[in-house]
Amino acid sequence: MKCRVCRGAAVIDVPRHNANFCEAHFLDHCREQVRRAISHWKMLDPGDRVLVAVSGGKDSLALWDILLDLGYDVEGLYLGLGIGEYSDESGVYARDFAAARGLKLREVDLRDDYGFDVPGAAKATRRVPCSACGLSKRHLFDSAALDDGFDAVATGHNLDDEAAVLFGNVLHWDADYLGRQQPVLPARPGFPKKVKPLVRLAERETAAWCVLRRIDYQVEECPMAAGNSHLGYKEALNVIERESPGTKAHFYFAFLDRIAPRFDQTEAKDALRECTSCGAPTTGDVCAFCKLVERATRPGARDVPVRIEIR
């Protein structure tokens, strides 16, 4: 197995590119894919101040590392979700990464700062934990970026993530979600710009980036996500990808290029006003995050302790 670039010994194959790479040229390949994504979808301008949503997993740490490599002014924000040992360990990986490189890691802790955690919110709302988790992340990353004047929030969604989300949206034919599934969402009043610079890298590649760059990361999947539909969609696409490498990338990129415009949201959006509690944009009086906080911290909301098991 020889490196496509230098013909030296390869350390990894990337079947969808029909290529093998040595260590140095694999790292080049990853940087190049991120550079291309940023340029093609006009995600960032040179020197932009970027807030990276850091979970302590391979994708967010690789993203932070690569964006620094490419010369952006990046800070990380870690969100303590209160998901037992999983969150404790994730926080350690995020902090160690930042400390070893002298980088600034901001932290928000759901329990300390807002009085609830994801398992408790799931119980209080009687919905899947991923719902309260996603809502909290969107709200807190957005408001942190706006409060401190960042040019964009960057998240570590990779090609596998985006293809699986697209597959889920297609299985349900949700035209609204299909219209919004873009690797860059421009800033609009009350919302910062949001970008996904890793969409041209598969998750095997972000993992390999971390291994080769000696970045320790949380390997466990979130125990609350085990068995959710998203992971099922990923696995189904993986079965097809193994048979026909490149199918996943074509599915996602052809959608963005040719099909997404058919789902463009031309209908007038509901007018947004400011949440009376926190000032975030909302269609009602109080935003969904403030409602969640109220519900999850109501007396009795967490009467039954939630047990989390790490596999």
Question: Binding residues for its own copies, per CB under 8 A?
Answer: 170-173, 175, 229, 232-233, 235-237, 239-240, 243-244, 247, 250-251, 254-255, 258-259, 262-263
As a residue count, the chain comes to: 311
Q: Closest CB to its own copies among 266 and 303?
A: 266
Tokens of 169: 């949206």
- As measured in angstroms, the least distance from the Cβ of 257 to its own copies is 9
Q: Closest CB to its own copies among 39 and 244?
A: 244
Q: Closest CB to its own copies among 141 and 263?
A: 263
Q: Closest CB to its own copies among 16 and 295?
A: 16
- As measured in angstroms, the least distance from the Cβ of 240 to its own copies is 6
One-letter amino acid at 194 equals K
- As measured in angstroms, the least distance from the Cβ of 97 to its own copies is 35
Q: Closest CB to its own copies among 73 and 235?
A: 235
- As measured in angstroms, the least distance from the Cβ of 236 to its own copies is 4
φ/ψ of residue 82, rounded to 5: 70, 30
Which among 180, 209, 223 has a CA at the least distance from the CA of 89?
223
Q: Closest CB to its own copies among 266 and 299?
A: 266
- As measured in angstroms, the least distance from the Cβ of 229 to its own copies is 7
Q: Closest CB to its own copies among 184 and 237?
A: 237
- As measured in angstroms, the least distance from the Cβ of 237 to its own copies is 7
- As measured in angstroms, the least distance from the Cβ of 307 to its own copies is 24
- As measured in angstroms, the least distance from the Cβ of 265 to its own copies is 13
Q: Closest CB to its own copies among 92 and 175?
A: 175
> What is the rounded (10 degree) CA torsion for 287, 293, 299, 303?
130
